[in-house]
């Protein structure tokens, strides 16, 4: 029989060895699958690494992919820190993207004729508000009625996606799109500039990194940050100490939803310039993985976002070269998450084998 015993103190060595062990475990598990697919393990990993991080182009693609992942990762981090389990970042992302196009799109050929200095902030604000509102309902229902937010936020995703689908085939459809279900394009002067010429990486990266730093500063230096951490760690004790629990949960919902909404707007403004149903291959859900990989640390989200993006991008290159399906990337991401969670557990508990 095996049992877990709480360690009295986490040793320094364990804290260092845990992530290393997690990486080794992930590589081993994935290596088995690569072998199974009949490809050479070493070459596959080398190609994957090269495809994700091996050149300026690889880095530019990785960073491009990292932008929405960092933002949805932040959305999950903020919410999970307060134990508001927001599984709805995907829907909030689409709500944000739609709101951005609604404000900044070329409706009727031109759209709103306002200075971009006015329209751009309005567009971002609309996206943040749209995302925030998506999460406000579930947060209030959780707090006032005890409705499980995992269920509500998850289900709202499907409602939003179907709604987006209806809008893209209806009122928001681009008449010039040859029948494709896509929205009108954004006004071109609202689009984000490129960071590196000839690549796709755009200034949305600066938004993502700045927002990560802002969230980190909120956690560390503000009363709201204390409230969020206290409510997440022990809501009863927080309420006893005078923390306004409901107000905190509402703030968290608005913040988390706004971050996911901005992810949608920044994807539209930086990469796609219009909304389609396949603009997000599940960024909202991957954001949860990134938040967990980062241990709910806002700055760690940047690193985790780049890592996951690199694996996803690298897997495309690798797949073309050696024929291992790109699903291996999902396996690597999932295995690394499990490995990190187990490794964290093992820094706090020891396993004892008893007869």
Partner 1 sequence: MNPTVLRLQGITKRFGPLVANDAISLDLQAGEVLALLGENGAGKSTLMSILFGHYVADEGRIEVFGSPLPPGNPKAALAAGVGMVHQHFTLADNLSVLDNVTMGTEPLWRPVSRRAAARARLLEVAQRFGLPVQPDATIGSLSVGERQRVEILKALYRGARILILDEPTAVLTPQESEALFATLAQMVAQGLSVIFISHKLGEVLRVSQRIAVLRGGKLVAEARTADTTQAQLALWMVGHAVEAPQRRPAKSVGDAVCVLDHVSTASAKDGGQDRLREVSLTLRAGEITAIAGVSGNGQVALAELLSGTRRAVSGSAQFMGRALPPSPARLVQRGVARIPEDRHAVGVVGDLPVWENAVSERLRSPVFSRWSFIVRRAAARLHARRIEKAFDVRGAGLMSPARSLSGGNMQKLILGRALLAPEQVEQDTDNKKYPNRAPRLIVAHQPTWGLDIGAVAYVQQQLIAARDAGAAVLVISDDLDEVLALGDRVAVMHGGHLGEARPAAAWTREAIGLAMAGATAPQRPGAAA
Query: Nearest distance from residue 152's CB to partner 1, in Å?
Result: 23
Query: Based on CB atoms, which residue is closest to partner 1, 148 or 189?
Result: 148
Give me the DSSP letters along 184-216: PPBPGGGSPPBSSTTSS-BTHHHHHHHHHHHHH
Sign of the dihedral defined by the CA atoms of residues 95, 101, 102, 104, in that order:
positive
Q: Which helix (H) or strand (E) holds 93?
A: helix 89-104
Query: Nearest distance from residue 232's CB to partner 1, in Å?
Result: 9
Query: Nearest distance from residue 258's CB to partner 1, in Å?
Result: 18
Q: Note whether 247 binds partner 1 by CB under 8 A.
A: no
Q: Which of 12, 115, 242, 278 binds partner 1 (CB under 8 A)?
A: 242
Query: Based on CB atoms, which residue is closest to partner 1, 6 or 179?
Result: 6
Query: Nearest distance from residue 341's CB to partner 1, in Å?
Result: 17
Q: Note whether 258 binds partner 1 by CB under 8 A.
A: no
Burial class (CB within 10 angstroms; exposed 0-12, middle 13-18, buried 19+) of 341: middle
- The C-alpha atoms of residue 154 and residue 156 are separated, in whole angstroms, by 6
The CA angle 138-140-142, to the nearest 5 degrees, is 65
Q: Note whether 146 binds partner 1 by CB under 8 A.
A: no
Q: Note whether 240 binds partner 1 by CB under 8 A.
A: yes
Query: Nearest distance from residue 249's CB to partner 1, in Å?
Result: 16
Burial class (CB within 10 angstroms; exposed 0-12, middle 13-18, buried 19+) of 349: middle
Alpha helix (H) ranges present in 272-326?
283-293, 298-322
Q: How far is CA 284 from CA 143, 243, 272, 340, in A?
A: 23, 30, 17, 20
Query: Nearest distance from residue 354's CB to partner 1, in Å?
Result: 4
How far, rounded to the nearest angstrom, does the alpha carbon of residue 71 sit from its chain's CA centroid?
Answer: 5
Q: Note whether 351 binds partner 1 by CB under 8 A.
A: no
**Token representation of residue 248:** 């905190």
Q: Note whether 144 binds partner 1 by CB under 8 A.
A: no
- The C-alpha atoms of residue 159 and residue 165 are separated, in whole angstroms, by 10
Q: Note whether 1 binds partner 1 by CB under 8 A.
A: yes
Query: Nearest distance from residue 83's CB to partner 1, in Å?
Result: 12
Q: Note whether 246 binds partner 1 by CB under 8 A.
A: no
Site string for partner 1, 295-334 (x = CB under 8 A): ----------------------------------------
Cβ atoms of 268 and 274 within 8 Å: the answer is: yes
Residues near partner 1 (CB under 8 A), total: 28
Residues with Cβ within 8 Å of 176's Cβ and at least 6 positions away in sequence, in order, are: none
Query: Based on CB atoms, which residue is closest to partner 1, 228 or 318?
Result: 228
Stretch that binds partner 1, among 16-24, 93-101, 158-166, 222-230 (CB under 8 A): 222-230
**Token representation of residue 118:** 């006015």
Query: Based on CB atoms, which residue is closest to partner 1, 165 or 222?
Result: 222
Restricting to residues 4-63, which ones interact with partner 1 according to CB under 8 A? 5, 7-9
Q: Note whether 230 binds partner 1 by CB under 8 A.
A: yes
Q: Note whether 228 binds partner 1 by CB under 8 A.
A: no
Residues with Cβ within 8 Å of 59's Cβ and at least 6 positions away in sequence, in order, are: 53
Q: Which positions lie near partner 1, rule CB under 8 A?
A: 1, 3, 5, 7-9, 221-226, 229-230, 233-234, 236-244, 352, 354-355
């Amino acid at each position: 029989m095996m049992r877990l015993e709480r360690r009295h103190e986490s040793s320094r060595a364990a804290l260092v060895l845990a992530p290393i062990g997690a990486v080794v475990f992930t590589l081993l598990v994935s290596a088995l699958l690569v072998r199974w697919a009949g490809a050479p393990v070493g070459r596959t990993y080398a190609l994957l690494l090269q495809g994700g991080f091996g050149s300026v182009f690889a880095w530019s693609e990785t960073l491009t992919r990292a932008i929405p992942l960092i933002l949805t990762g932040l959305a999950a981090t903020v919410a999970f820190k307060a134990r508001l389990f927001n599984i709805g970042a995907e829907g909030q992302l689409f709500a944000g993207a739609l709101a951005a196009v609604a404000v900044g799109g070329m409706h009727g050929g031109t759209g709103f004729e306002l200075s971009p200095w006015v329209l751009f902030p309005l567009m971002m604000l609309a996206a943040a508000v749209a995302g925030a509102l998506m999460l406000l309902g579930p947060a209030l229902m959780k707090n006032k009625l005890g409705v499980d937010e995992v269920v509500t936020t998850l289900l709202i995703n499907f409602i939003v996606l179907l709604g987006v689908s209806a809008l893209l085939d209806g009122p928001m459809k681009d008449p010039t799109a040859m029948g494709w279900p896509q929205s009108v394009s954004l006004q071109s002067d609202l689009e984000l500039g490129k960071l590196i010429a000839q690549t796709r990486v755009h200034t949305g990266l600066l938004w993502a990194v700045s927002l990560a730093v802002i969230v980190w500063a909120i956690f560390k230096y503000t009363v709201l940050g204390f409230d969020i951490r206290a409510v997440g760690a022990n809501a009863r004790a927080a309420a006893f100490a005078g923390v306004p629990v409901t107000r905190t949960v509402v703030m968290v919902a608005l913040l988390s939803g706004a971050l996911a909404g901005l992810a949608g707007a920044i994807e539209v403004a930086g990469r796609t310039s219009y909304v389609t149903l396949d603009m997000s291959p599940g960024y909202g859900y991957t954001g949860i993985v990134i938040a967990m990989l980062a241990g709910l640390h806002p700055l760690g989200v940047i690193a985790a976002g780049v890592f996951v993006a690199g694996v996803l991008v690298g897997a495309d290159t690798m797949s073309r070269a050696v024929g291992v399906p790109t699903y291996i990337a999902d396996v690597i991401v999932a295995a690394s998450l499990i490995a990190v969670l187990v490794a964290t557990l093992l820094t706090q508990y020891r396993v004892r084998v008893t007869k």
